[in-house]
Amino acid sequence: MEGGGSYESGDLDNLKATELRLGLPGTDEPEKLPSMLPRSSKRAILEANESQSKRNPSEIKSLEEDQKPAAKAQIVGWPPIRSYRKNSYQAMKMEAETTGMYVKVSMDGAPYLRKIDLKVYEGYKELREALEDMFKCFSLGEISRMDESNVHEYAITYEDKDGDWMLVGDVPWEMFLSSCKRMRIMKGSEAKGLGSIP
Partner 1 sequence: MTYFPEEVVEHIFDFLSSHRDHNAVSTVCKAWYRVERLSRRSVFVGNCYAVRPERVVARFPGVRSLSVKGKPHFADFNLVPDDWGGFALPWIEAFARGSPGLEELRLKRMVVSDECLELLARFFPNFKVLVLISCEGFSTDGLAAIATHCRVLRELDLQENEVEDRGPRWLSCFPDSCTSLVSLNFACLKGEVNAGALERLVARCPNIRTLRLNCAVSVDSLSKILACAPHLVDLGTGSFTIDHPAEAYHRLINNFTKYKSLKSLSGFWDASPRCLPAVYPICGNLTGLNLSYAPAIQGADLIKLIRLCLKLQRLWVLDCIGDKGLAVVASTCKELQELRVFPSDVCGAGTAAVTEEGLVAISSGCPKLNSLLYFCHQMTNAALVTVAKNCPYFTRFRLCILDPGKPDPVTNQPLDEGFGAIVQSCKDLRRLSLSGLLTDQVFLYIGMYAERLEMLSIAFAGDSDKGMVYVLNGCKNLRKLEIRDSPFGDAALLEDVGKYETMRSLWMSSCYVTLKGCKTLAAKMPRLNVEVINERDESNEMEENPSDLRIVEKMYVYRTVAGPRNDAPDFVWML
Neighbours of 165 (CB within 10 A): 12
Distance (Å, whole) CA 118 – CA 129: 13
Site string for partner 1, 158-197 (x = CB under 8 A): --xxxx----------xx--xx------------------
Q: Which of residues 16-35 bind partner 1 (CB under 8 A)?
A: 22-23, 27-30, 32-33
Beta strand ranges found along 66-109 (DSSP E): 74-75, 102-107
Site string for partner 1, 100-139 (x = CB under 8 A): ----------------------------------------
Q: How far is the CB of 104 from partner 1 (least distance, A)?
A: 14
Concatenate the DSSP letters of all residues of 22-59 into one string: SSSTTS---TTTTTTTTTTTTTEE----TTT-SSPPPP
Q: Which of residues 47-76 bind partner 1 (CB under 8 A)?
A: 49-52, 70-76
Q: CA angle, 179 as apex, 145 and 75 as ends, to 5°?
A: 125
**Residues found near partner 1 in the complex (CB under 8 A):** 2-6, 22-23, 27-30, 32-33, 36, 39-40, 42-44, 49-52, 70-86, 88-89, 92, 95-96, 160-163, 174-175, 178-179
